[in-house]
A and B are shown apart, each in its own frame.
Chain A
Amino acid sequence: MAKLHVSTTINGEPTEFLCEPYETMLDVLRDGLGLTGSKEGCGSGDCGACSITLDNRLVCSCLMLAAEAEGHEINTIEGMAKGENLQPLQQKFLEMAALQCGICTPGMLVAAKSLLEHNPNPTETEVRYWLAGNLCRCTGYDKIVRAVMDTAEEMRGAAQ
């Protein structure tokens, strides 16, 4: 069986790759394209470490076939900082120590960015529910939630 040829856009760059029909987007990002920021914690949709956006919608890349990327736009953690300039959530996670081992962090950041794009002024409850599919073994979540709330407030201030 010949591999499938897929044309897509990843972090704004037109990208082409070959994949097996059963390979997930996460497999291709990590093993085919060398974009290893997205992590595999479970491979079954439970942990969120593989979070990406597909046409600006937050999804688990482990639950998406790579072939489904054809003609669509993918954004991963690698597209978040612009060169040396960290995105505000990344900066805030560092300042507020919202990570320890860091395995969940790419997924948390991608998911939190997606939240703030949908809802720039979330309540703590909204943050917790939005991030309920992102598991963290280390932090106890509190620092992550506070970092997201603080970033949201700063970004709202900057937008005024």
Chain B
Amino acid sequence: MTDIQYVAPNTLDEAVGAFAAAGDDARVLAGGTDLLVQMRSGMVEPGLIVDIKQVAELTSVEETADGGFIVGAAVSGAVLEEHPRFGQVWPGVLEALNLIGSTQVQGRASAGGNLCNGSPAADSVPAMYAAGAIVTVQGPNGSRQMPVEEFPVGPGKTNLAPGEMLVSFTLPPRPPASSDAYLRMIPRTEMDIAVVGVGVSLTLEDGVCTAARVGLGAVAPTVLLVDAAAEALIGSTLDDAALDAAAAACSAACNPIDDKRGTIAYRTKVAGVLLKRTATIAADRAKGA
């Protein structure tokens, strides 16, 4: 580890330039809660570390004129929590990000790092899928956007082309009576990796669900967007039959690993149970909104 270099550029163009110029050997540093652990264990040995926390676009939270939000890739959960409006509009995204690790970890861990690290169990990712977030990435050939569900392509693998980095998440404006929620199942009550995670975002009109999205984590090689579960909710009053159908769709979407933290049967069953609980919380919040 003697040839390693560290830079902390002040602009996005400088950050992308330095990152792209260094090739495969470079790593972006956001909160470092994955990267430093990986460096210490010898899993990664970067030649260049590009600390992106001096770049304004990557560290700011902006509410747009139409009521959407642009969240910089490196914004920590603790900073997002302090935003006066974000948690009112997107309580599910916020609670998902702030389930990550301890208070200490939340002071650093970002949604961008959580997504780029590529874990299928990353807590904020199902909530971002449910929210319908659009991600903006920038590389040597300029910037592009994609729906967040197109970003992960496998465990630890993303859609980023060489030299590209994640810039921000854009969350759409919210119709009235909309809300979201995220729940995960873990063997402990804190500081553990999700066995299943479910994010639900929905809109109600006169008690009828008119729009819904469901993100499902930790049960497949990537986080999944479960359209069939969303379709089961849309058009219903979120009655038992609709919730049962959506739960069955989540269970059917599962393709989980079998390990000491959860068997295939357990994860598949819990995915359905959590869908019902999460949708109910999102609906209660939407009624209060």
Question: B289 on the interface (CB 8 Å rule)?
Answer: no
Measured in the bound complex, the distance between the Cα atoms of B5 and A46 in whole Å is: 26
Measured in the bound complex, the distance between the Cα atoms of B191 and A68 in whole Å is: 25
Contact residues in B for A130 (Cβ distance below 8 Å) = 103
Measured in the bound complex, the distance between the Cα atoms of B191 and A129 in whole Å is: 10
Are B8 and A133 interface neighbours, CB within 8 A?
no
Instruction: List residues of A whose CB falls within 8 A of some B CB.
Output: 1, 4, 20-22, 24, 43-46, 48, 51, 54, 57-60, 62-65, 67-68, 70, 111, 114-115, 129-134
Are A21 and B5 interface neighbours, CB within 8 A?
yes
Are A57 and B78 interface neighbours, CB within 8 A?
yes
Are A1 and B37 interface neighbours, CB within 8 A?
no
Question: B277 on the interface (CB 8 Å rule)?
Answer: no
Instruction: List residues of B whose CB falls within 8 A of some A CB.
Output: 1-6, 8, 29, 31-33, 36-37, 39-41, 49, 51, 53, 78, 101-105, 107-108, 190-191
Between-chain CB contacts (< 8 Å), 13 pairs: A20-B2, A45-B36, A58-B107, A63-B31, A63-B37, A65-B29, A65-B51, A70-B8, A114-B103, A132-B102, A132-B190, A133-B102, A133-B105
Contact residues in B for A63 (Cβ distance below 8 Å) = 31-33, 36-37, 104-105, 108
Contact residues in B for A68 (Cβ distance below 8 Å) = 8, 32, 51, 53
Of chain B, the residue at the smallest CB distance from A4 is: B6
Of chain B, the residue at the smallest CB distance from A44 is: B37
Contact residues in B for A59 (Cβ distance below 8 Å) = 104, 107-108
Contact residues in B for A44 (Cβ distance below 8 Å) = 37, 40-41
Of chain B, the residue at the smallest CB distance from A56 is: B107
Of chain B, the residue at the smallest CB distance from A19 is: B6
Measured in the bound complex, the distance between the Cα atoms of B31 and A149 in whole Å is: 30
Are A43 and B32 interface neighbours, CB within 8 A?
no
Q: Which of B8, B39, B104 contacts A22 (CB 8 A)?
A: B39
Are A48 and B4 interface neighbours, CB within 8 A?
no
Contact residues in B for A48 (Cβ distance below 8 Å) = 102, 104
Of chain B, the residue at the smallest CB distance from A131 is: B103
Q: Which of B29, B40, B108 contacts A43 (CB 8 A)?
A: B40
Beyond A43-B40, A65-B29, A68-B53, list 11 extra A-B contacts (CB 8 Å).
A4-B6, A21-B49, A22-B49, A45-B104, A48-B104, A59-B107, A63-B32, A63-B36, A64-B108, A132-B102, A133-B105
